A and B are shown apart, each in its own frame.
Chain A
Amino acid sequence: MYRYDEFDHRFVAQRVEQFRDQVQRRLSGELSEDEFKPLRLMNGLYLQLHAYMLRVAIPYGTLSAKQMRKLAYIARRYDRGFGHFTTRQNIQYNWPKLNEVPDLLADLAEVEMHAIQTSGNCIRNVTADHYAGVAGDEIEDPRVYAEMIRQWSTLHPEFSFLPRKFKVAITGSPNDRAAVRVHDIGLRMVTNEAGEPGFEVIVGGGQGRTPIIGATIRKFLPKQYLLSYLEAILRVYNMLGRRDNIYKARIKILVKETGAEKFAELVEREWQAIKDTPVDLPDAEVERIAAYFAPPAYQTLGAYQPSFEEQRLADRDFAAWVRSNVAAHKQPGYSIVNISLKPEGGVPGDASADQMDLVADLADRYSLSEVRVSHMQNLVLPDVRQTDLYDLWQALVEGELATANIGLLGDIIACPGLDYCNLANARSIPVSQRIGRRFADLKRQHDIGELTLNISGCINACGHHHVGHIGLLGVDKKGEEFYQITLGGRRDEQASVGRIVGPAFSTDQVVDAVETIVNTYLDRRVDADERFIDTVGRIGLEPFKEDLYATH
């Protein structure tokens, strides 16, 4: 993992003290709310429905056990004993008090964490594949580049007041687990004909009010030019992006209105002017950063571990959990373990302080002290020996963290919605809980197979409903909560925006509607191997519409 150098430590500590002074001046009346609001947002502090909300950055979703323990401590000391892991791999606290936030930030700084770049019109905290460094299909660990981008973008004077927020996602694998096509910039590692690694650069993707799949503006960027090329993109956006209309200010609108080809030319021109200047890092600096992400000292183990296979045969619940929650690791004898934060009837992405502590302890014991946060609002233990899986699973069962539903219908992604959020039009969490209860039978979920269901409480799409196989968007109809359903969205390397299936459903109808959709799929699929998304692709929306609206 990356460790702060002296500059990082000093900068974060200074920032805490600066904010302490700003809070003091706000409380004394020296600063008005209008003056203070942009300052608190620069430190991740929002004012939500019931209280302040602090969004803490978890750069590229990687945490040490020590950091996770600190997050638990903060949940207890400053909040109500829990936190919410978000679709941007961050954590949000729902009840901090303004006067206590400086102390909270000082505690975070002790473990090299902060809340900078989690709000405002800057380059936000970079997200990455949560299997980075351990996935078998990976060309290189994307976190090396994510960390370079973090250092480059933090307090970048030119890019601190962009037309709008700016999100970068990066994956080192051809199989996209970081949803790179729905970000302002998506970076996908590829190799050229000579076998050299570089990046496919995708620009202008996004969700929200205007969902757009990003366009590739460069098929292969030699990796040593990553920062200068990003700088060129940001410069073009900063100069030409709209500042007169908040709904048209994201780079996706600029790319759409300019045309991807023309936009690529503008970037190319800018890039040629700054390429081979000190913007790009010297090799020694890249190597210094890369060394932090060097693979740990794995044991040499066989790919076949008899005790693990025996445990799997002996315990059906364990076998089901392995099937859905355990993924292949690049190192023989090791596995990647997904910890579901979606228990039946739970709040997607929420974890209690006790659960955070437990995950930290289990990371120390079984996963080389490292934890990941996924954009699906789950946690990951990346380095678990297969022979430890059974013991780990039992400990997770004790902590109510062993729901075997990763990638299945119960693994619902939901934004906080109107239960917490000031922007929401409708609630997301209660709908996710009701769907979870309707499909509580895990065997049924396994029979249905891979299916992503995403819920957003408003058009800002924090629940990523546009790219869910089934997407639910909460809308307000004359004071009542309704849910518009989209089908066929996907966030992977074949990313697409879901299409609206028809008129929205009321709160009372929406769970039945989801069940109808699932039943239509089960009736129509060729066989159990045809996934929901493939059936939708093959038969289109019409059969779903017929079943949904025939009786209405």
Chain B
Amino acid sequence: MSLKIVTANRLRDGAVVYLAGSARWSERLRDARRATDAAETDALLAAAERAVAAQEVVAPYLIDVVQADGTIHPVGTREIIRASRGPTIKPPVGSFRQDESHV
């Protein structure tokens, strides 16, 4: 079986997050807990559903990742862009409120 992790969007601000522990979500893909078989995958999804019920995240789902260079990488353009935490292009530069959670 390919390596899988669970991703979702955080309810409060919509940020892309990855299930890192049984009840911990991280904005960094490399922190994600990996599943290598069906039982582990089921456990990840069950943990994700508990987070949905606890109003932490929205719409969790499994994605494939590959292991390389000592870490994991998402498969497919969509998940690569999500994992990069922003568009692949440079948005216009404007003065705006500095916000820790956006950095």
Please report A residues at the B interface, Cβ cutoff 8 Å: 26-29, 33, 47-52, 75-77, 79-82, 94-95, 97-99, 346-347, 350-355, 418-420, 426-427, 429-430, 433, 476, 479-481
Q: Would you list 25 pairs from A and B whose C-beta atoms are within 8 A, ordered by A residue?
A: A28-B55, A50-B16, A51-B9, A51-B13, A51-B14, A52-B13, A77-B97, A80-B91, A81-B93, A81-B94, A81-B96, A82-B92, A95-B14, A97-B13, A97-B14, A99-B13, A352-B93, A353-B95, A354-B94, A354-B95, A418-B81, A419-B88, A427-B77, A476-B77, A479-B76
Contact yes or no, B15 A29, CB < 8 A: no
CA–CA, A22 and B78, complex, Å: 31
Contact bitstring B56-98, A, C-beta under 8 A = 1, else 0: 0011000000000000000111100110011111011111110
Q: A33-B59, A347-B89 are in contact. List 20 more A-B contacts (CB 8 A).
A: A27-B12, A33-B52, A33-B58, A47-B14, A49-B82, A51-B9, A52-B13, A80-B102, A81-B92, A98-B11, A98-B14, A99-B13, A352-B94, A354-B95, A418-B77, A419-B89, A420-B87, A426-B77, A433-B89, A481-B77
Q: How far is the CA of A511 from the CA of B85 in the complex (A)?
A: 27
Contact, CB under 8 Å: B96 / A430: no
Main secondary structure of the interface of A (DSSP, over half): mixed
Q: How many pairs of residues, A versus B, come closer than 8 Å at their CB atoms?
A: 108
Residue of B nearest to A427 (CB): B88
Query: Is the pair A346, B92 in contact by a Cβ cutoff of 8 Å?
Result: yes
Interface centre among A29, A51, A346 (most CB of B within 10 A): A51
Are the CB atoms of A79 and B96 closer together than 8 Å? yes
Please provide the 9 A-B residue pairs with the shortest distance between their CB atoms, ordered closest to farther. Answer: A81-B96, A352-B94, A81-B94, A419-B87, A51-B14, A352-B92, A52-B14, A97-B13, A353-B94
A27 to chain B, nearest CB (A): 6
Chain B residues with CB under 8 Å of A420's CB are: 87
Q: How many angstroms from the CA of A50 to the CA of B58 in the assembled complex?
A: 12
Are B9's CB and A429's CB within 8 A? no
Are A351 and B81 in contact, CB atoms less than 8 angstroms apart? no
| Complex alpha-carbon distance, A26 and B58, angstroms | 11
Tell me which residues across on chain A come within 8 A of B77, comparing CB atoms.
Answer: 418, 426-427, 476, 479-481
